[in-house]
Amino acid sequence: MFDSLKKKLQNIRTKFASNIEEVAGPEPAAAEQPLLAEAAEPAPLAAPEPPAPVEETPEERVEPTFFNRLKVLVREREVLLQEKDIEEPLFELEMVLLESDVALPVTDEIIARMRSDLVGRHRKIGASVDDLVASTLRSALCGVLGDGLDLSEYIREHERPVKILFTGVNGTGKTTTVAKVGHYLQKSGFTVVIGAGDTFRAGAIEQIRTHADRLGIKTIQHQAGADPSAVLFDTVQYAKAHGIDVVLADTAGRFHNRANLMSQLEKIRRVMKPDLVVYVDEAVAGNDAVIRADEFNKAVGTDAVVLTKADMDPKGGAAISVAHTVGKPILFLGTGQGYDDIMPFSPRLVVDELLGGEA
């Protein structure tokens, strides 16, 4: 996942490390501490008749102690980095992020965090300069990705049923995502009911019902063309009456500039009163996904984001950009076609994936 960005970030790390090593200069040579065994023997006390020397057997000979083998460790170097020392790799990092569909404001934020952390401070340069670069880049990326949202924990901490409304544009895998989230919650021990609120698209009700039947999840539906607000109201009432933990509400795909459909979504929100509004889009859409998520958030509000087709996205720009741009966490990444192919989004784990593990 995000293989292209991962490879480019590794090259950037190498460039940063090379520049910092050049500024720091060569490591001082290790100085060896004199062995205690080589120290001068203290003068023996005067004795009238010194005893005759006794020859030691090999078994009695004393081996050198740990302290006899001590060496002075290489001193840590300290360097004061200036803007000019990292100007070139910062520029290359900026280009890499922009080429990977990271939104410009997010790119600017990452560069600013890197510059602030590195420039004008005394930094100790130990055995691995790459570790310094990786930890700095890790901090910058985690800073723009935020803390994430653990859905299972959220459900446990809120009054049941927890009502989740899914929104998004046409063709981004929203209905399949609803089914995947339902399966994920079932495996986490929660009971689920799905509301077939997409009464607009031909075949949408049958599609969500087919998914739900395969997973053993109850579906509440009306006929095609019915008021989606009424469908989702009935779904919430069913959940309350049967002690269901979570309501998942599917809705018709729509664009933010379609006034009639957006006003319909507003009505759904007023009637259903969702606890979470989740926007669904494709990771492969890159900056388009970021822009659309921001527009949906401004139009009807968004509490979290799901990005589908993350397994097909070598760039990763949308995953890095959406949370910071919208100011809301990414909830899941879709990683395939199966019901299990959905991954809770952990900012730290994603950064570890991009940078190759914990620094």
4 contacts: CB under 8 Å, gap ≥ 6: 100, 314, 315, 316
Q: What's the chain's average pLDDT?
A: 83
Residues 302 and 170 both lie in one domain: yes
Q: What is the 3-state secondary structure (H, E, C) of 185-251?
A: HHHCCCCEEEEEECCCCCCHHHHHHHHHHHHCCEEECCCCCCCHHHHHHHHHHHHHHHCCCEEEEEE
> Which of 106, 194, 91 has the alpha carbon at shortest distance from 146?
106
The confidence score (pLDDT) of residue 161 equals 97
Residues 83 and 129 both lie in one domain: yes
Q: Does the residue 163 lie in any domain?
A: yes
Give, to the nearest 10 degrees, the angle between helix 3-24 and helix 347-355: 70
pLDDT tens track for 186-228: 999 999 999 999 998 878 999 999 999 999 999 999 998 899 9
Residues 138 and 244 both lie in one domain: no
Q: How many domains does the chain have?
A: 2
pLDDT tens track for 33-67: 444 444 445 555 555 555 555 555 555 555 554 33
Cβ proximity of 173 and 342 under 8 Å: no
Cβ proximity of 146 and 321 under 8 Å: no
Could you list the residue range(s) of the whole structural domain that residue 117 is in?
3-22+73-145
Work out the number of other CB atoms within 10 angstroms of the CB of residue 190: 19
Residue 224: CATH number of its domain = 3.40.50.300
Work out the number of other CB atoms within 10 angstroms of the CB of residue 126: 12
Residues 94 and 161 both lie in one domain: no
Residues 176 and 325 both lie in one domain: yes
The confidence score (pLDDT) of residue 26 equals 61
Q: Does the residue 267 lie in any domain?
A: yes
Q: Does the residue 325 lie in any domain?
A: yes
Q: How far apart are CA 322 and CA 286, in angstroms?
A: 9
Q: Which residues does the chain have with pLDDT short of 70?
A: 24-79, 121-129, 256-259, 357-359
The confidence score (pLDDT) of residue 39 equals 44
Cβ proximity of 194 and 208 under 8 Å: yes
Give, to the nearest 10 degrees, the angle between helix 259-272 and helix 228-242: 20
3-state helix, strand, coil in the chain (%, to 5): 50, 15, 35
The confidence score (pLDDT) of residue 40 equals 46
Decide which of 129, 145, 161 is a domain's last residue.
145
